[in-house]
Structure 1
Amino acid sequence: MRGKTVLITGASAGVGRHLAHDLATRGAVLLLHGRDRDRLERVADEVADRAEAVRVYQADLGDLDRVRDLAAHVRQDVPALDVLVNNAAVGGGADPTVRETNAQGYELRLATNHLAPYLLVRELRGALAAAGSARVVNVASIGQLPLDLDDPMFTRGYHGVEAYCRAKLAMIMGTFDLAEELRGQGTAVNALHPAHLMDTRMVRHGGLTPATTVDAGVLPTLRLVADPALEGVTGRYFDRFDEARAHEQAYDPEVRRRLAALTGRLLDGTPAARTGEGADRATRGTL
């Protein structure tokens, strides 16, 4: 990894922070993203003496306009991007009954956990291609629930944890689609479940009891980033170190087609299913 350029979203805490430390010892050029400037700067200071170079990028990835801004800054700063780790996420929330939306009016978990990483890959595909052999690692979850594409914004019977699990399945479906789209362009795209209920702010904020350490999730993620044995492997879902099968809906071609069409419309700015039962409770959220 010496000299390779790696962008890690959600690098100010949890798996992102630990991964930054590990890659710094390997001499990588680190592009660190976070929403909280102070925490992000602290991580940058922690790794600066070991990494080849460090840059920081503050952005709320719940806002798709800020995702585009982030990509534009990265394209300006580096000629090529060897690795993109889409690690930033929004969990179920402290009160999972509260439905949140982003700046564009989209359900927050779908926007942050699926649309944002998908858009970031799309916006950075040129920089990834310029690396010659790039990798995209989407940090997903074993917690996956089927999408309701008749109500993609989850306006009926909302629950934050279910919204998170739906969005993570959407992320995995997007991984498969992007892998096919970028096949032959030198960019591999894979997703993984790093570890179960790691001791992170997101888990504790959601009122859950951690079951594993953050370190337990770093090694499986690092493997997808750096293992030479995975060169050229693309379009796969891993449960920690093992290739696994995602929720069955991820292999339904009609669902995949409908999700891809919806994703395209939303990223192009066409709203979908933003009103309905419970919409009056919607509030803008942040990453």
Structure 2
Amino acid sequence: MNRQERRVERSGEGQPRPDAPALVTGATSGLGRSLARALADRGWTVLVHGRDEGRCAEVVDELRAAGGTAHPYLADLSSLRETAELGRKVAAEHPSLGLLVNNAGVGAGRDSRRREVSRDGHELRLAVNYLAPVVLTHALRSPLRAAGSAQVLNIGSIGQSPVDPEDVQFTRRYDGMEAYTRSKFALAAFTFTIAEEYAADGIRVNCVHPANYMDTTMVTEAGVRPWSSVAEGTAAVLHAVDEGARGASGQYYNESRRAKAHRLAYDAGTQRRLTSLTDRLIAPAEGASGPSW
């Protein structure tokens, strides 16, 4: 066991064994897989989300072989309807949910000039990195409330660019890296938008930038040489989980430090405009019940 792995393991010392499960999206590789393993080591029942059945089963088997409890959940988060169905399935099978980690994401891609779209026709990074977490968080609010002191943890980025309300789908002068940073700005703003309301339900909502350019497929696909490890990112996420367990909410963490997100992510007018835009985009997936922020 190396020094970084020991640091991740020690970060769970003294933490109570959770009674309700944790759902980690994008848990079949990179940070998500490492985090699923770390949470299982802490005693969490881990709901392992992925797109590929084989890879999902592999992670579940790995956690169970190490003495943990884990269950697979398949969904393509580039489809908002499939994302909503994932939320409904988890809620039906686990009426109490202790932790939701919105980790799944899409980076800048191999060719940052190539604009990609989701299955619903949305710009891909906006869809997977932002709209899907919003839909999933909405769908799981009831089981999170039932847990009594649950958490939503959004995996953000230090790179944040305000969304252009006149071109939310980024159809003009597209750049994959900016599309990524726009989606992460939106995710941070969503965190701060819902934190106070969800606190009334006993749900803490925070956002964390785990580390700079971790050694993940997302980073290597973008042609970037990694600066840090997944183990370092995992330690930062666990620190944010511990902060939430102590009552922190509406916070942004840069690695293991409380920090400030982009100033406009806290702006009430920006939040209202983004909420209105988001409501229209996700309405077809959420059905007649409509958004519930």
Is 1:241 matched with 2:256? Answer: yes
Higher deviation after alignment, 1-10 or 190-199: 1-10
Correspondences of 1:205-224 after superposition (within 5 Å): 205-224=221-240
Unmatched runs of 5 consecutive residues or more in structure 1: 271-287
Is 1:43 matched with 2:59? Answer: yes
Residues 88 and 134 of structure 1, relative CA distance in 2, 3 Å threshold: same
Is 1:20 matched with 2:36? Answer: yes
Q: Which of 197, 204, 213 matches 2:220?
A: 204
The structure showing larger relative contact order (alpha-carbon pairs under 8 Å, at least 6 residues apart) is 1
One-letter identity of the residue aligned with 1:218: T
The alpha carbon displacement at 1:231 in A equals 2.3
Is 1:73 matched with 2:85? Answer: no
CA contact (8 A) 1:6 1:28 kept: yes
CA contact (8 A) 1:199 1:211 kept: yes
The alpha carbon displacement at 1:2 in A equals 4.3
Residues 205 and 83 of structure 1, relative CA distance in 2, 3 Å threshold: same
CA contact (8 A) 1:3 1:52 kept: no
CA distances 1:101-138 after superposition (whole Å, capped 9, x unpaired): 11221111111111111111110000000000000110
One-letter identity of the residue aligned with 1:85: V
CA contact (8 A) 2:214 2:227 kept: yes
Residue 265 of structure 2 corresponds to which residue in structure 1?
Answer: 250
Residue 232 of structure 1 corresponds to which residue in structure 2?
Answer: 247
Distance 1:211 1:204 in 2: 11
CA distances 1:166-215 after superposition (whole Å, capped 9, x unpaired): 00000000011121221210100000100000000111111111111110
Distance 1:41 1:209 in 2: 30
Is 1:104 matched with 2:131? Answer: no
Residues 51 and 116 of structure 1, relative CA distance in 2, 3 Å threshold: farther
CA contact (8 A) 1:30 1:51 kept: no
TM-score by length of 1: 0.90
SS of residue paired to 1:31: strand
Q: Which of 259, 265, 270 matches 2:274?
A: 259
SS of residue paired to 1:268: helix
SS of residue paired to 1:198: coil
Distance 2:272 2:100 in 1: 25
One-letter identity of the residue aligned with 1:195: A
Distance 2:45 2:135 in 1: 22
Distance 2:179 2:100 in 1: 24
CA contact (8 A) 1:190 1:234 kept: yes
Distance 1:131 1:31 in 2: 15
- Count of aligned residue pairs for this structure pair: 269
**Which structure has the highest helix share of the two?**
2
Residue 57 of structure 1 corresponds to which residue in structure 2?
Answer: 73
One-letter identity of the residue aligned with 2:275: A
Residue 283 of structure 1 corresponds to which residue in structure 2?
Answer: none
The alpha carbon displacement at 1:228 in A equals 6.2
Residue 174 of structure 2 corresponds to which residue in structure 1?
Answer: 158
Unmatched runs of 5 consecutive residues or more in structure 2: 1-16, 286-293
Residues 265 and 28 of structure 1, relative CA distance in 2, 3 Å threshold: same
Distance 1:34 1:16 in 2: 10
Identity %: 45
SS of residue paired to 2:65: coil
CA distances 1:256-283 after superposition (whole Å, capped 9, x unpaired): 110011011111139xxxxxxxxxxxxx
SS of residue paired to 1:105: coil
The alpha carbon displacement at 1:69 in A equals 1.1
Distance 1:262 1:15 in 2: 30
Residues 229 and 9 of structure 1, relative CA distance in 2, 3 Å threshold: closer
Residue 91 of structure 1 corresponds to which residue in structure 2?
Answer: 107
What root-mean-square deviation, in Å, do the aligned CA atoms of Structure 1 and Structure 2 show? 1.5
